[in-house]
Chain A
């Protein structure tokens, strides 16, 4: 085998492995996770702020005014925007983690909506929900910013 390799002037197997790893990218940069996406960062920041504002306002209203009926339009729009961002994330290569996280946010919005539909959210419940949504959005933003690979 060594003789054939020498005859054909082939590089050693180790070099071939390196070549295979580097083949798809110039200057040999290995990519195991998606590239940073500016749109995801901007949209995630906007949606985080939108949910924070919604729950902050809800927490400052008397229980009689914090009804689901007054918030239905918000849920429709917010859920649609999160879904659009998740679909975009799914279209980006090697972006499974961010896509799953956005799918989870969608699930959280549906959970909140169902809980709210049952009865008005109390101030304390709205504040706990706000903290939890902020933790989820921060997780998404932290990963997206880490993809910048400074």
Chain B
């Protein structure tokens, strides 16, 4: 069992997995952040037109801040899942070699 070869195999599998998952995260984040930007413009317009008073405008802004935090938390969660998938892909890539070399089922 050669560390260099195992390392290369693990890295290649992790990279492939991360590339796949990054696309998923980006596909989620892009439209949601655009939607949040639109809502912010809408709140500003409502306040400017006098459609909402200061108290309601502030409440909408706080709800907006919370929604933004929630979207960012999902992006963080998707990132954690991507890392988890990459680790598991790296293990899976060398599973047979490692198990065979050490003589019992480790991975």
Contacts and interface: CB of A to CB of B under 8 A. Distances in A.
Interface of A: 11, 14-15, 18-19, 22, 28-33, 97-98, 100-101, 104-105, 107-108, 111-112, 114-115, 118-119, 121-122, 124-125, 128-129, 131-133, 135-136, 138-140, 142-143, 146-147, 149
Nearest to A121: B56
The number of chain B residues touching the other chain, given as a range, is 35 or more
Interface of B: 3, 24, 28, 32, 35-36, 38-39, 42-43, 46, 51-53, 55-56, 59-60, 62-64, 66-67, 69-71, 73-74, 76-78, 80-81, 83-85, 87-88, 91, 95, 98, 102, 106-107
Contacts of A98: 77
B67 A115 contact: no
B106 A104 contact: no
Contacts of B84: 30-33, 149
B32 A139 contact: yes
Residue in A97, A124, A132, A140 whose Cβ sees the most chain B Cβ within 10 Å = A132
A140 B36 CA distance: 16
Contact of B66 (A22, A107, A131, A143): A107
Contact of B51 (A122, A140, A142): A122
Contact of B46 (A29, A124, A136, A138): A124
